Amino acid sequence: MRFYQKELRLQAYPRGFHIITNEVLRAFPELEEIDQGMLTVFIKHTSAGLTLNENADPTVRTDFESHMNVLVPENAPYYIHTYEGADDMPAHIKASLMGSSIQIPITKGRLNIGVWQGIYLCEHRNNASGRSLVLSCFGLSKEGI
């Protein structure tokens, strides 16, 4: 059994939904040592989230952003937490709806995801700085140890 963990600092992304699968894979070459296992990706922020979804057609990510803005609008009159800007409280709600972590199976040293799936950073702030992820991977090694 192997266990690896590291932090990945992402660049600042604009508000929206961004595929970060390749960044995660580049930062974590140890995945190749796992024959059967799991990868957990956790985001250390309360105004951005993670999800796994369509990785080919960019209009899916645009539609995600549009729908989330309808579902959780800015400047709702009942928001009390407003001193960090109109996008802050909605960002917290959106981050909770999307989630702060995802788990992906690892099979034969690769993420066992569908051909059309990718890891999304769901950035809900207008002017966010880079985001920090904790990547944890565990499983049986290719050598069976």
At 143 the pLDDT is 75
Q: pLDDT at residue 58 above 90?
A: yes
The CA–CA distances, whole Å, from 103 to 59, 85, 95 equal 25, 32, 17
Mean pLDDT value of segment 124-144: 93
- 26-49 pLDDT, tens digit each: 999 999 999 999 999 999 999 999
Q: For 105-121, how does the pLDDT look when each residue is reduced to its tens digit (9 = 90+)?
A: 999 999 999 999 999 99
Given a cut of 70, is residue 144 above it in pLDDT? no
Mean pLDDT over residues 67-88, rounded? Answer: 96
Q: Which two tokens stand for residue 72?
A: 């959780």
Checking if the pLDDT of 138 tops 90, the result is: yes
Sign of CA dihedral 86, 88, 94, 96: negative
Q: Positive or negative, the Cα torsion across 100, 121, 15, 116? A: negative
Note the pLDDT of residue 63.
98
- Kindly indicate the confidence band of residue 4, based on its pLDDT and cuts at 50, 70 and 90: very high
The b/e string for 41-59 (b: 16+ C-beta within 10 A; e otherwise) is: bbbebebbbbebebbeeee
